[in-house]
A and B are shown apart, each in its own frame.
Chain A
């Protein structure tokens, strides 16, 4: 019998796979109906077992379960044609990506052995980490950075509920893929801003689409 956490893990990978199809060239021009059907079909197809294992399980073997932050961004991108999520709140998205980069830079080098302190240990329910996160989320909510507040809220809720196999809160907040994406997006944004300097002001610079 399949564990609940295997289903959620596979669904996370299937969601990202569906999004990767939406981002293929040409998808921007197709109708909303096809835009719903094609990723939906990909989502289902990668979850169907072939010779005992679904395709998503092969991807999951390498990627692991994707963080809730990744899932929020993935589903924002998938639902953007209908709800405009992500495109309308560039400031909130930029703040989230900046926070992801800062957290990743603090977590990964230390967790992989740069120094004696291991911040990953705090993810096993350390009250200080949880309090700091919730305060960050509250501050983000106060300043109307809804995406940050939502990601932290969903991640904390999922961790408490045992949504994935991991019992570590960090795994719900971050993964290497969203960290690399956030770093690339922030760098591209900075480079674009540099190129615009000196030119007459046009429209507000936008972040690359997720």
Chain B
């Protein structure tokens, strides 16, 4: 026996033996790594009150952002612990400019007032935290995890255009008063490029976070990330394949069932595409086109407590100058327009007429503003070219607060973020009206 041990020791002392030892250690570590992997979880259903708590009966609108003569885009919302709503968006001298920062403001539903906007993240601070060069910032989306931590995911680019994007995350344990240093999410094997966020995140039953993302380098497809409470990615599922699906929105119907709707960037006819899951996102059906028209633009939506789907989107095939609220009562097969939020279809006008129309729209958004002409000038800066001017109402982001009220934000002529708030009672009234109009 001592002889055998001696022989073994001699063999292990050679390179060949050392490699075997390394391999054994790696096998042990791998078993630990696999056993540490969280098991599949169900979707967590949001808790929504049946009656609205403080919303006035109608629909109200406000501007969230206030900085003039700046490029402003891609807003998202999250409800805080005390029922206030925090918005995030990006703003800078132009889209993709190095001075673009992620900004935020807080809405108090009781006083119906937005706080002053503040900067949450910029390029320099982000690259210092990440210890990586960062060229520009893009879309932010926020989420409140089951443990109360506020997560902000935003797009960062180090190389090339938006197809070179990666996701950066920061967290806050005080509902956005202060933020942790930025962390990079590694989501792709090829230089970690081309993962972007736009859709609303959601919770799983085990406290992990579902983050809808999309890829647009060479191919365009939707994906779903599952992120642990500590911020590690624990799974990634593909929602579509090919070159046509972008910016997925996951609509949760039950702890096991959901539908993901995506912006379609393929050839005409341009329709929203959808895929479904019956096993909490482990597998998704092949995507299929819905009846909803969309001009290859972002969409947003929620599932109502009675199972109907409410969406906000540009429901034309051609442009982003009209924005609607639409409802489906049959799981997405048919849709009914319940309210036309904006409609400037085909209004590509000369600068003078555009300025006048933009000022009127600004005044209609918020009767309290005294400088509607300044709002119009900002719109002119971002939406007028030599050929003329065009209206844009895009990138909607819709949530339903725990009180039952709905909050929608969207880009207003690439210049401001507009907020629309309405109650369940108002929505039901609009639905009745739409049904009545259809019957007559």
Instruction: Determine whether the beta carbon of A159 is less than 8 Å from that of B33.
Output: yes
Instruction: Determine whether the beta carbon of B22 is less than 8 Å from that of A153.
Output: yes
Interface string of A110-140 (1 = CB under 8 A from B): 0111111010110111010010011001100
Nearest-neighbor residue (CB-CB) of B233 within chain A: A167
User: Contacts A53-B133, A171-B186; is A62 near B158 (CB within 8 Å)?
Assistant: yes
Interface string of B392-404 (1 = CB under 8 A from A): 0000000000000
Compute how far the CA of A171 lies from the CA of B30 in the bound complex, rounded to whole angstroms. Answer: 15
> Which one of A21-29, A30-38, A142-150, A182-190 is at the interface?
A142-150
Instruction: Determine whether the beta carbon of B234 is less than 8 Å from that of A167.
Output: yes
Closest-CB distance, A14 to chain B (whole angstroms): 12
Range for the number of chain B residues in contact with chain A: 35 or more
Closest-CB distance, A102 to chain B (whole angstroms): 15
Instruction: Determine whether the beta carbon of A6 is less than 8 Å from that of B131.
Output: yes
Instruction: Determine whether the beta carbon of B29 is less than 8 Å from that of A127.
Output: no
User: Contacts A57-B131, A174-B189; is A165 near B22 (CB within 8 Å)?
Assistant: no
> Which one of B52-60, B137-145, B212-220, B374-382 is at the interface?
B212-220
Chain A residues, Cβ within 8 Å of B198: none
Interface size on A, residues (CB 8 A): 58
Q: Which of A116, A154, A168 contacts B241 (CB 8 A)?
A: A116
Instruction: Determine whether the beta carbon of B19 is less than 8 Å from that of A149.
Output: yes
Instruction: Determine whether the beta carbon of B134 is less than 8 Å from that of A64.
Output: no
User: Contacts A149-B19, A167-B234; is A157 near B133 (CB within 8 Å)?
Assistant: no
Compute how far the CA of A144 lies from the CA of B17 in the bound complex, rounded to whole angstroms. Answer: 10
Instruction: Determine whether the beta carbon of A120 is less than 8 Å from that of B219.
Output: no
Instruction: Determine whether the beta carbon of B19 is less than 8 Å from that of A130.
Output: no
Instruction: Determine whether the beta carbon of B25 is less than 8 Å from that of A60.
Output: no
Nearest-neighbor residue (CB-CB) of B191 within chain A: A64
In chain A, positions 59-103 with a C-beta closer than 8 Å to chain B are: 60-64
Closest-CB distance, B439 to chain A (whole angstroms): 43
Chain A residues, Cβ within 8 Å of B33: 125, 130, 156, 159-160
Instruction: Identify which of A61, A107, A114, A115 gathers the most chain B CB atoms within 10 Å of its CB.
Output: A61
User: Contacts A113-B221, A118-B236, A166-B186; is A62 near B29 (CB within 8 Å)?
Assistant: no
Q: Which of A3, A112, A161 contacts B190 (CB 8 A)?
A: A112
Number of A-B contacts (CB under 8 A): 153
B34 contacts partner chain A, Cβ-Cβ < 8 Å: yes
Chain B residues, Cβ within 8 Å of A61: 127, 130, 132-135, 158-159
Closest-CB distance, A107 to chain B (whole angstroms): 6
Compute how far the CA of A10 lies from the CA of B133 in the bound complex, rounded to whole angstroms. Answer: 12
Chain A residues, Cβ within 8 Å of B183: 3, 165
Compute how far the CA of A174 lies from the CA of B192 in the bound complex, rounded to whole angstroms. Answer: 12
Chain B residues, Cβ within 8 Å of A176: 190-191
Nearest-neighbor residue (CB-CB) of B216 within chain A: A113
Instruction: Determine whether the beta carbon of A157 is less than 8 Å from that of B238.
Output: no
Instruction: Identify which of B15, B25, B132, B218 gathers the most chain A CB atoms within 10 Å of its CB.
Output: B132
Nearest-neighbor residue (CB-CB) of A52 within chain B: B128
Instruction: Determine whether the beta carbon of B186 is less than 8 Å from that of A168.
Output: yes
A108 contacts partner chain B, Cβ-Cβ < 8 Å: yes
A2 contacts partner chain B, Cβ-Cβ < 8 Å: yes
Compute how far the CA of A24 lies from the CA of B130 in the bound complex, rounded to whole angstroms. Answer: 30
Compute how far the CA of A164 lies from the CA of B36 in the bound complex, rounded to whole angstroms. Answer: 17
Q: List 8 A-B contacts (CB under 8 A).
A: A52-B128, A60-B132, A61-B130, A62-B159, A116-B241, A118-B236, A153-B26, A165-B186
B residues with CB within 8 A of A? 15-16, 19-20, 22-23, 25-27, 29-30, 32-34, 36-37, 124, 127-128, 130-135, 158-159, 183-184, 186, 188-192, 215, 217-221, 232-238, 241-243, 286
13 more A-B residue pairs beyond the given contacts A153-B25, A154-B22, A171-B186, with a C-beta to C-beta distance below 8 A: A61-B134, A112-B219, A113-B219, A115-B241, A116-B241, A120-B188, A121-B235, A121-B238, A134-B23, A138-B23, A146-B19, A149-B19, A157-B29
